[in-house]
Every structure is written in C-alpha cells, then in structure tokens.
Structure 1
Amino acid sequence: MGEEEARTQPMPPISPAQARANNAAAVRMLRRLMTGDSPPTAPLSIVDRLAASPYANPTIQVGGVDESARRTLDFALLLAETMFRYGAGALEVESSMIAVTAALGLQHIEVDITNQSVAINYSPRDQTPIQLLRVVRSWTSNYAGLALVHQLVSEIAAGGVGRDEAMRRLQGITKRAKPFPRWAVTAAYSLFAALFVGVLGGGLMASLIAFLSNLGVSLVSRVMGRWRVPDFFTTLASAFLVTLIALLMFWAKMTIAPAIVVVGGILLLLPTSRLVSATQDAINGFPVTAAGRFLSAFLTFAALVAGIAVAFLAGELLGVSRIDVTQTFPPAYPYWVQVILIGAAVAAIAVTEQTSRRLVIPTALVGVVGYFVLTGVQLTGVGDRVAPAASAVVIGFLARIVALRMGAPQLVVAVPAALILLPGLTIFRSMYVATLDVNQTGAGAGGMLTAMAIILGAAAGIVLGDHLARPFTQKAGSVERRRRWMRR
C-alpha cells in the first residue's frame, strides 16, 4: 500500500463505550486545568496551620472524641496563657494550641487570639459545643519558662506525653523559680549599660557612671513595681533618672559624653520584645493582636521620650550647659575588644530576660555574628537604616536554627541578640534638639521617625530571618521531637 493510499484509509470506528471513556477523561483534564488540585475557596483544616511549625504532623494519641474534652480544653487554655505571659507571639501560641489539641484527640477545634485573650471553641458533630475564654492580665520576663513550654508541646506532639502528665508538668513550669536571682538580673541590667557604653566610644568613667545610674534605675523600678505604678510612669521615671544623672555628671565637668551614657541606659527600656512580637503578629495575620501590642509598645516609647525630655528641661533650669549632639565618638577600644564587649552585653541581656542558662552563650554568639554583619554592611556605605535590618535578618535566621536545636522558640534567642541594633543615639539626639530648640522641632521629629523606621526595620528583619530559616529547621524539629520521645 502506498503512502498516499495509507493516508486516505478511513479510521476504524470507535465504540460508544470508548467514546464515553474518552469524553470523561477530557472532562477530568479540563476540570483539573480550570480548578487546580484544591479549589481556592475550599476551607483549610486547622491542622494545616502546623505545616511550617516545629509541631507539623502531630501524633494522635486518642482515637475518636475524648470523653473528657473539657479537661483538654482547660489545659490548652492554660498553656496559651502561660506562653502569652512569657512573651510568645500569637502564631506560636496558636500553633501550640492546635498541636496539643490535635495530639490529644480533639477535632473540630477553632482558636481565636486577641491582644489579651485566648478563646477556643470545640464543636463535635451531634454534640453540645464548648467555648472557653481565658484573659491574660500580667506579663513577666521568663524566657527559660517559655523554652520549657516549647519542649513540652514538642513532646506532646510527638506522642510521648499524655494530658494528665502534661498538666502536671505545665503547672510545675508556672511554679518553677526563674534561673537567675533578682540580684543577678539587677547586676546584668547595669552591666549591659556599662558594656554598651564602651562599644559606643565611652571610656571607663562613662561606663562606670552608666553602671551606677542603671543600678539606681533598677532599684527605682522595683519600688514602683511594688507600689503597682503603671509601666508607663515607671518607664518615664527611669528614662528621666538616667538622663538627669548623665547631665549632672557633665555639669560637674567629668570627662564623659552624656549622650553615650544615656543611650546605654535607655536601650533596655525600649519595648524590643513587644515590637518584634507585634511585627510578627501583623505579618502572620493577627491584626488585632498586632494592633494591641503596637499600641503598648508605642506608649512605652512615648514614656521613654517624655522622660528624656523632662530631664532635659530640668537640666536647663539647673543651668546645665548645652550639649553638642552632633559630636561623633571615635572608638575607645580596638575592634576585637568591641566584639568581646558585644558578646558580653548580649549575654547580660539574656540574663535580664531570664533565659535558660544553657542558652546564654549561644545567644551571645548569635549577637556577635549580627554585629559582624552590621559593621560589614555599614562599610559598604548603604547607610545606617539598611544595615540594622540586614543584620536583623541574619540574627533571625540563626536564632531560629539555634533555638530549635536547643529546644526553644526563636524569640528567646533573637530578641536579646538584636537589642544592639536599636538606634538609642538617634533617639537621644532627636529629643534633645526637639526639646531645647524650638527652631529645630521639625528636625527632631524627623530624627524620631528615622529611629522608629530603624526599629521597625529590625523587627521585620527578625521575622523575615525566621521565615527564611523554616525550610532548614522542619526536619530538625521532627528529629528532635522523636529523640525526646525515645528518651522517655
């Protein structure tokens, strides 16, 4: 048969069954192209929220509906309240609640988190729904406790801890003493100021004054806390005291730079943890919680600014001579000494935040790496606004890897390590200009906006670094959970 004759041969007839099969296959292909593998309007399971968390694929310990679901819900709410009190972000709290309830056998769970409250709704089919609410009314620095809660949730998600044992352990965590005594926290608070003053260019005398003034600030804050004075006025009084002491020492002709002394004292007063948590909540889809935390952080910032301004006015009335705020400060120590001072300062911050003892040195090392990045980026000439954000990304990235491998959430390592990035000197200069020179009010306000931009950029950088590190830590988190389960 020739080639032309082959082309003219009729196609064999198609049976009705084969035609229907071909049509069905074509319809399925068209539907897949049009809708994708999962329709965009289909609701996602709440357990899918754990996909990028350390608690992905929790082990279900109970088959069917737990008859004592109320006790499981009470445990989940106590867990959430504890995490919030210790400074955890909304996404971490939500992920922990979902992991715990899923592992303990509860389905049909919904969680709603706001700035000060956590609500959980349990609606099993053909049963009476249960809805509970817990309000968080107090906060405390206890990163060691937050790390222990993180480890407990990991073990529950791995199937190694039941509900009754988990409740006992959680109650033990809430009653457990903090790792460092009060005198050590006070000393670390003052030591950080002295060390950071040395990094900024202050000599031994400036560091000594910063240490003593912050020691007084710690004692005043403790007394005002005992009197239950609101945090706004406590922060205002602390900023006023450290600024006024620096101005008086300058008035007494002591060879110090008062701006550096003030910066060392106000950095720990800045609401760093709340700003990081608020930025994280805003990015992760918790606008109400983020708005509440931003408002709280801005009120603290306003109290800090007000305290500095009142101290300036008091110094002016006492006849303290004007300070040259445009003055630059050459390094007082070689670069390698500054690196050591940074590591020791970050370790001191970790102590003030009551982090776990075994996390102090790793946190200090992450801070040192962040300082290397900060100074390296500054050498490229990109400016003082971009350098802290770039360093914060690296700190956030390393903090997630280090913290997860040591059984702690990222915030525990990231916040102390990133405190060195905050623009305390810019805040001081802007407030001084805006308070004492009416003609420079606009310049002072611009400086304050610049400082806020740097602070928010650093907070966003920490969150970005956390997200960038997640692909590298999911497997590590699963391995760690299995390792803990095998050790039991």
Structure 2
Amino acid sequence: MNDRPENPRRRPPTDGLPKTEPLTPSQLRQDAAAKRMLRRLVRGENPPTAPLSIVDRLAGSPYANPMIQVGGVDTSARKTLDFSLHLAETMFRYGAGALEVETSIIAVTAALGLKNIEVDITNQSVAINYAPKDQTPISLLRVVRSWTNNYAGLAKVHRLVTDIVAGGVGRDEAIRRLDEAITSPKPFPRWMVTIAFGVFAAVFVGVLGGGPVSSGIAFVANIGVSLLARQLGRWRVPDFFTTAACSFGVTLTALLLWRFDLTNAPAIVVVGGILLLLPTGRLVSSVQDAINGFPVTAAGRFLSTLLTFGAIVAGIAVAFVMGAMTGMQPISVTQTFPPAYDLWVLVIFIAVAVMAIGITEQTSWELLLPTAGVGVVGYFVLLGAATLGVGDRFSPALAAVVIGLLARVVALKMGAPQLVVAVPAALILLPGLTIFRSMYVLTIEESEILLGAGGMLNAGAIVLGTAAGIVLGDTLARPLTRSLASNERRRARRR
C-alpha cells in the first residue's frame, strides 16, 4: 500500500471525462487576441492613476516633439530658467493665453535639455520648479504687472520658440533675439494708431447703416477718444476710469450732435466709438484659459473683462443721465437702420475695419491683408447664417468658429499665434448696438428695466458665444494644421 501523500501538482486522472480535440492555429490566435482585448479592457494601455508627463502637454501644439539639442542637459540650468521666465512674461504682456505660455515654456526647456520641470501659471504670475534627481531644486517666480498692444512682438516670440524647438537656436542666441523683440519699436507710430481708431469707427458706422455724415462724426469722435485715453494714461489714471471717460465722451458727443440735428443716428455713432474699447483679446484669452484647464487665470481675466464692460456701461449711463438732466431729446432706441451702401462696398468696409483694428493692436504689416481676408470670410458666414434664420445669438458664434479655424491656418503659415489673426477679425461680430440700446433702456426708461436687463444678458451671451467660437475653431483646426507646424519647423532648421 502506497502511503505517500498525493502530489498537488499531479494532474487528476481524466478517466470518465470527455476528451477534447486540440485547438487549431486559427483558434489559438483568436484566443490570444481575446485575452489581449480583455487585458486592455480591464487594465487599459496606461494605469489610470499614472501621472501625465509634462511633455505630453505639447500634443496638438506647434511645438510637439521638440528636438533636444546635442549638448544634452544644460549645466547652467539657472540661465535657462531665467530665459524661460522672461519669455513667459513677454508673452503674457503681449496678450497670449495661459496654454500658449505653458506650452512655450515646456517646449523651450525640453529643447534646451532640462528635464524634471514643473510649470504653474496663476493669473499674473508664472512659476517654474526645477528638481533634478539628487540635486538642489530651483524654484523661480515672475509676476506680470503691465500689458501692451504688440501683436507683432508676440509673433516674433512665437517664431523664436519655433526655432528653438526645431533645434536651430541655442540659449545665448535665443536670449539675444528675445531682447531684440522686446526693445524693437512697434510697427506703427502713435499718430497712425490714432488715425486707425477714427478710420475703424467711420467705416464700421457705414457697415451698421450710417451715412457719410455719421461716419465723419464717428471719425472725429474716436480720434478725440484716443487722444483722451493717451493723456489719461500719462497721468497714471486706472484703466477702469480711463475706459469710462472715453465711453462717456463719445456718448455725450453723439447726444449733443443729436440735439442740434447734426446727426440722425446717434446710436450708431456711439457703437462705432465703444467697439474698440471692448476687451476682445482679453475675453478670448479668458475663455480659452477656462476651456483649457486654467480656472484661476481665467477667473482673473474674466474679472478684468467684467470691469472693463462695467466701465463702458458706466460711461454711457452717466452721459445719458446728464443728457436727461439738461433736457436733451430722447433717443429712439428701437429705430432700425437699413444698409446705406451696396454689399461690395460693405465688404470693402469690413476689410478696412479689420486692418484698422490690426494697426491699433500693432500687428505686423504682412499680417494685415490675411487678417482682413479672414474677417471678410467671417462676415459672409454671419450674413449667410442670418439669411438661413439661425438667429442673432448663434450666427456670430458660427462665424467665430470659422474665423477661429481660418485664423489658426493663416497664423501658422505666417509664423504667428492664432490670437493675432482671430481677435482683429472677430471684433466686427460683437453686439455694440445691443449693448447701447440695453444700457439706454436701463438708465432712462425705468419702466422697461426688465427689457434692458434682458438685452444686456443677450449681449453677454453673444459676446461669450463669439469668444467660445474662436476657441472651438482653433481646436477644430489643430488636426488640420499638424503638417503646417512641421513645415514651419523644417524651415526653421534650414535657416
């Protein structure tokens, strides 16, 4: 009798069990494929709690897959970090969004050989933490305290980052080029910017239905507003009161001319004056930051944008109250204005208006005509959507999507960020006339306060829809512009 314990590894006897046929090669392959699919479903390609590599933030941007320079890891990391912070500060000052600033920092530091970088952007500050293994970490912070209109400078910085990522520019050369971009004069002198303010107001009044007299009044009024804003800036007056004073000045001028029968369309004159005061670029950047996951930065910019809108509304309201106290004739805000010119003339007006906006934003010369073309296409989309009965709220948003998409394509071809083309082209979509009418009803016609509040909410919905449409167009264009970004980087390498 065998007293040995049973071996647990020994296979049990198969007597009495049905015999199975061996699997064919095809069945074996199907079984292996099923097991792999099951593992992917249960476990996934990457563990769900694995951290996202910071370089993965470059996916979808023009700086994806940066070329690491031959020198390897930079031994003087502090100089590279200082340069990256200076670059970020410059981009913020010129109006770039938080995502663009972050991707630029990541791309530059990766291309210059620094790993273990963490970037934190919070409203006006940029922080970089560099913590290499077994070394002393470095943490730097830079605060942005001023802003300026310089889209040409922003385009130069964009091209500099592209050249660094392509591997054709070292750190010392990059520092020199950044200093050159900051210290170089703006493309247009101040007198030309002042004239552009007046030209934009004149031609846009024509687009809204005003005649030559109204356009001439708007031209003179906006030049005065531009000079007033410049003088208040020299006196260090806060932006809120500067914007309110400009809004008050153009509204009071229109009311005085209306009282003496020198214009029959004061509302249009006011709209032409306040449209350039609207913080379009800041609003687009804030919506972009909110969508791209920068809530604190977006909240700060939203608050700044809201204060600017409040300043415009306050200036209009004070002018209305003064007009009512002095016995000025009330304005018919329900008056409609049929087109005063043929369609081909309006198209020319739109192109001129967009180029005038570009001059006020200090866009480079070579971008003026392409930006005007994008604006004209957006205007045609706006007219087509209105003809199809899409609605006054959705039509500007649809046109903004097309503008945002085309702006990314044109900007990458011209070596500039999308914002430089999109903001001037989309300014014509903003509801200045609705803002004016709603503010008048809120201030003067107290019995219709609900109507005025509803009009302001409607105007706010159009403004936010336009800003979101630009961001959506930029997102939709990313898969279509990967080859453009690659071509731009190949050209940079050849240089």
TMscore range, shorter length: over 0.9
Match of 1:157 among 162, 165, 186: 165
CA distance change for structure 1 residues 11 and 429 in 2, over 3 Å: closer, same or farther?
closer
* Pair 1:78-2:86 in alignment: yes
Query: Where do 1:376-395 residues align within 5 Å?
Result: 376-395=384-403
Distance in 2 between residues matched to 1:371 and 1:478, nearest whole Å: 31
- Report the TM-score when normalising by structure 2: 0.93
Q: Distance in 1 between matches of 2:33 and 2:396?
A: 56
Q: Which amino acid aligns with 1:339?
A: V
Q: Distance between the aligned counterparts of 1:24 and 1:375, measured in 2? A: 58
Q: CA deviation at 1:255?
A: 3.5
Contact 1:197 1:261 in 2 (8 A): yes
1:180 to 178, 188, 193: 188
Q: Which of 101-110 and 313-322 deviates more?
A: 313-322
Q: Could you say which residue in structure 1 is the equivalent of 2:69?
A: 61
| Equivalent of residue 432 in structure 1, options 417, 437, 440 | 440
- Report SS of the residue matched to 1:224: helix
Structure 2 counterpart SS, 1:41: coil
Unaligned runs of 5+ residues in structure 2 are 1-17, 24-29
Query: Residue 480 of structure 2 corresponds to which residue in structure 1?
Result: 472
For residue 313 of structure 2, the aligned residue among 271, 294, 305 is 305
Name which of 325, 339, 343 aligns with 2:351. 343
1:482 to 468, 481, 490: 490
Change in Cα spacing, 1:10 to 1:310, as seen in structure 2 (3 Å) is closer
Residue in 1 aligned with 2:414?
406
- One-letter amino acid of the structure 2 residue matched with residue 411 of structure 1: L
Aligned match of 1:101: 109
TM-score, scaled to structure 1: 0.95
Given candidates 361, 367, 370, the residue that maps to 1:359 is 367
Offset at residue 298 of structure 1 (A): 0.2
**Residue 49 of structure 2, aligned match among 30, 33, 41:** 41
Q: Contact conserved, 1:190 with 1:210, CA < 8 A, in 2?
A: yes
Identity level (%) = 72
Q: What are the equivalent positions in structure 2 for 1:201-220 lying under 5 Å apart? A: 201-220=209-228
CA distance in 2 between counterparts of 1:385 and 1:454 reads 5
Q: Which residue of 2 aligns with 1:374?
A: 382
TM-superposed CA distance for 1:81, in Å, is 0.1
Cα deviation for residue 313 of structure 1 reads 0.7
Instruction: After superposition, give the CA deviation of every residue in 1:352-380 in whole Å (9 maximum; x if it has no partner).
Output: 00001100000001000000000110001
Cα distance in 2, alignment partners of residues 345 and 234 from structure 1: 23
Contact 2:73 2:112 in 1 (8 A): no
Cα shift readout 1:360-418 (whole Å, capped 9, x = no counterpart): 00000100000000011000112110100000000000000000110000000000000
Aligned residues: 474
Q: Partner amino acid for 1:77?
A: L
Distance 1:366 1:28, change over 3 A: closer
When residues 307 and 42 of structure 1 are mapped into structure 2, their CA distance, relative to the original with a 3 A threshold, is same
Whether 2:455 is the aligned partner of 1:447: answer yes
- The question of 1:418 aligning with 2:422 is answered no
Contact 1:62 1:104 in 2 (8 A): no
Secondary structure at the residue paired with 1:472?
A: coil
C-alpha deviation, 1:66, in angstroms: 1.6
CA displacement 1:87-115 (0-9 Å, x = unmatched): 00000000000000000000000000011
Distance 1:11 1:442, change over 3 A: closer
Correspondence for 2:237 among 229, 242, 245 = 229
After superposition, what is the alpha-carbon deviation per residue over 1:413-457, rounded to whole angstroms, capped at 9, x for unaligned?
000000000000000000111101111111111111110100000
Q: What does 1:118-157 align with in structure 2 at a 5 Å threshold?
A: 118-157=126-165
Match of 1:89 in 2: 97
Q: Which runs of 5+ in 1 are unaligned?
A: 1-7, 14-21
Determine the structure 2 residue equivalent to 1:199.
207
CA RMSD of aligned residues (A): 1.8
Aligned twin of 2:294? 286
The answer to whether the 8 Å contact 1:62/1:103 transfers is no
What amino acid is the match of 2:482? Q
CA 1:432–1:23: 2 relative to 1, 3 Å: closer
State the distance in 1 between where 2:61 and 2:312 align: 35
Note closer, same or farther for the CA distance 1:217–1:27 as it changes in structure 2 (3 Å cut).
same
Shift in Å, 1:36: 1.6
2: CA distance, partners of 1:156 / 1:324: 58
Q: 1:40 Cα shift?
A: 2.0
Which of 28-37 and 308-317 deviates more? 28-37
Query: How far apart are residue 224 of structure 1 and its match?
Result: 0.3
- Give the Cα separation in 2 of the matches to 1:150 and 1:359: 14
Q: CA deviation at 1:241?
A: 0.2
Say whether the 8 Å CA contact 1:203–1:256 is kept in structure 2. Answer: no
How far 1:29 sits from its partner (Å)?
A: 5.6
Residue identity in the other structure for 1:282: A
CA deviation map 1:323-352 (0-9, x unaligned): 110000011101110011000000000000
Partners of 2:459 and 2:247 lie apart in 1 by 17
Contact 2:155 2:420 in 1 (8 A): yes
Q: Does 1:456 align with 2:484?
A: no
